[in-house]
Homo-oligomer: A and B are copies of this chain.
Amino acid sequence: MTDQQAVLDLLDIVEYGGCAEPEQFFALMRRTFKIAHLLYLEAEPLADGLKVCRLHHTFGAYAAEIYVSKGLYRIDPILRLALGGVRPVEWTTARRRFPECEPLFQAAEEIGLSTEGVALPLPSPAGRMALLAINANMSPTEWSTYRRCHLRDFQLAANLFHASMLEHAAMAGAIDERDMRLTGRETEVLTWSAAGKSYWEIATILGISERTVRFFMTNARRKLNVVSNTQAVAQAVRHALIPTI
């Protein structure tokens, strides 16, 4: 069994920001646990499927080539299961439930990915999804024991790492959106507009004239570089420029 102290140290490091880069996190995880491979991906749900925004993994070049460029993530049942819920998905469970994807698992075995592993769904507040897939070269019985003991470690580490990634992305995006900063009133009128209020209603609520509401809204549209109030609100919600809570 893995050294408990090492596990607690790893969790401390991840929680307090010592793993800004996925590579660091992956290395630390592989050093601490008997893990063969790790994969972290962020995805966005689309009407016709799944758009993978970011993908980090420890596979070899060839394996990555197969998995990514051939678009296997589009048909991977584990991804479908994991990105649709919040419960950890056991690889072998998915294999049993989706026999039509057997070729995928065989391909994985050929490139050195064992079939024992777990995928941890990591939802984020805005509705985007991510997952951390953990793969171990273990026998089923060995993995069962190991998983029971360390799933909690994997789950917390995954959550904290995911939080770091989200905060990192928010910081990186903040620079680009410097000119997109809205004033207090602009934010207010956008917020009320997103709540379905008309100019007249917003004017009454804020105690100003309807013309002034339009003035703020026009400024907001210009700053956001959009052509309609509807588009402005969509942008503002996506970029969390107006309060969600």
Contacts and interface: CB of A to CB of B under 8 A. Distances in A.
25 contacts: A7-B152, A11-B151, A44-B244, A45-B125, A46-B243, A47-B188, A47-B191, A47-B242, A47-B243, A79-B245, A83-B245, A84-B125, A85-B125, A85-B163, A86-B163, A87-B159, A87-B167, A126-B127, A126-B240, A128-B240, A156-B156, A193-B230, A193-B231, A196-B230, A230-B230
A78 interface: no
A41 interface: no
B125 A244 contact: no
Contact of A156 (B151, B191, B245): B151
When all copies of this chain in the complex are counted, the total is 2
Interface string A156-183: 1101101100110000000000000000
Interface residues of A, number: 71
Interface of A: 7-8, 11-12, 15, 43-51, 79-80, 83-88, 121-129, 148-149, 151-153, 155-157, 159-160, 162-163, 166-167, 184, 187-188, 191-196, 198, 226-231, 233-234, 237-240, 242-245
